[in-house]
Amino acid sequence: MDPDDEALLEALLAGEHRALARVISKIENRSPGYRDLVSELYAHTGNADVIGITGSPGAGKSTLVDKLAEEYRDRGETVGVIAIDPSSPFTGGAVLGDRIRMASTVGDMDVFVRSMSARGTLGGLSTATADAVKAMDAFGKDKVIIETVGAGQNEIDIVRTADTVAVLVPPGSGDDIQTLKAGILEIADVFVVNKADRDGADRTVQELREMVHLGEEGGLGGGGHHGAGAMGGGNGRDEVGEGDDSEDGWTPPIVETVATKGTGVETFIDELANHRTYLVDSGTRAEKARQRYAEEIRTLLREDVHAMLEDELAASGGIDDLADAVRRGETDPYSIAGDVLAPVAACVENLETDADADSGTE
């Protein structure tokens, strides 16, 4: 590792917030040496609770995260917040500036807020977010909160980095509740009806309750985010805020909050704690970690192999020349793909042969 990066890593592990900010910048910008830095972070991770907050725009995510951080600080815990913002069309940087909406913790160095830009690179943002979480975890933050800009596929990929995912639903969502069934039900560990003092909150809670009940009967989410058999025959919930952590899995509780007043935040934190207890006691937390690391390995392999293939394409004359050859009828995409992959396949075959030879001599 570069000596400057070694000093940066030591400063981060020593609890210097400026070093944490610089490490996350290197991660987000994919600066030279960032991989070595992240590799060194792994040995210092695994202690933070990672919480994902997602939901439709306007649901009050930033305000709730602000109150969440404030309550955790009152309990003596340190907090890191990664806020995923829309990209500026001019700079590619974050444009919302979530610090503006997190007024309660301004000046508190034990609440570290970092906005990351949703630049739209497929898979890249979720990888960078996962690496930034590791930086905050290694730094020593007790709670790391990931707040996304919306509830699309990109956001779902991002919050899978979290141990516990809370989905915010504004009251009076109507048909929006139906759209949640497509994917949000499977990732939600806790539902939060924020702005619960507004008209339509009771109906939204009832619709969510029915949706979760139907999910149990239909086996939705079983074996998914909630663990083996999750939502597959739980006992349901008798009242708002009361989840089920029976042997069949975890049934997402529904919590009502008014973030602007701090109402319901303590109940929300209690449900987050209940879910963490369930994860640990059921062994699901370890399984989720294995799944996350497996996906990280796959993602890195895809990135590296893609980069190698791009180099191989360039050595073969460049993609445009190859495409022109196809246009002229001289070859076809399948033949080109086979030719480009041939050296990689030969390398893998040689590795397998060497491995078999080594195992045969032991």
* 35 belongs to a structural domain: no
Question: Based on the domain organization, do 93 and 167 belong to the same domain?
Answer: yes
* 30 belongs to a structural domain: no
* 6 belongs to a structural domain: no
Question: Based on the domain organization, do 356 and 241 belong to the same domain?
Answer: no
* 2 belongs to a structural domain: no
End residue of a domain, out of 282, 305, 338: 282
pTM here is 0.80
Q: How many domains in the chain? A: 2
Question: Based on the domain organization, do 171 and 305 belong to the same domain?
Answer: no
Question: Based on the domain organization, do 311 and 272 belong to the same domain?
Answer: no
Question: Based on the domain organization, do 158 and 97 belong to the same domain?
Answer: yes
For residue 116, what is the enclosing H or E element?
strand 111-118
Question: Based on the domain organization, do 96 and 186 belong to the same domain?
Answer: yes
Which distant-in-sequence residues (6+ apart) come within 8 Å of 83 by Cβ?
62, 65, 94, 96, 98, 113, 114, 115, 116, 147
Question: Based on the domain organization, do 86 and 233 belong to the same domain?
Answer: yes
Q: Which amino acid is at 196?
A: A
* 289 belongs to a structural domain: no
End residue of a domain, out of 259, 282, 305: 282
pLDDT of 105: 58
Name the stretches of the chain with pLDDT < 50.
Answer: 88-100, 120-122, 220-241, 245-247
Question: Based on the domain organization, do 318 and 235 belong to the same domain?
Answer: no
Question: Based on the domain organization, do 241 and 157 belong to the same domain?
Answer: yes
The tokens of 252 are what?
């997402």
End residue of a domain, out of 258, 282, 306: 282
pLDDT of 313: 82
Alpha helices in the chain (DSSP H): 3-13, 17-29, 34-41, 61-74, 124-139, 153-159, 175-180, 184-187, 201-218, 265-282, 284-315, 319-327, 333-361
Question: Based on the domain organization, do 259 and 316 belong to the same domain?
Answer: no
> Residue 118's beta-bridge partner residues?
86
* 13 belongs to a structural domain: no
Question: Based on the domain organization, do 249 and 329 belong to the same domain?
Answer: no
pLDDT of 271: 96
Question: Based on the domain organization, do 218 and 305 belong to the same domain?
Answer: no
Compute the chain's Rg from CA coordinates.
23
The tokens of 278 are what?
């369930």
pLDDT of 334: 95
Q: Would you tell me how many other CB atoms lie within 10 Å of the CB of residue 284?
A: 20
Range of the domain at 347: 296-361
Residue listed under structure tokens 């739209």: 120
pLDDT of 243: 53
CATH number, residue 67: 3.40.50.300
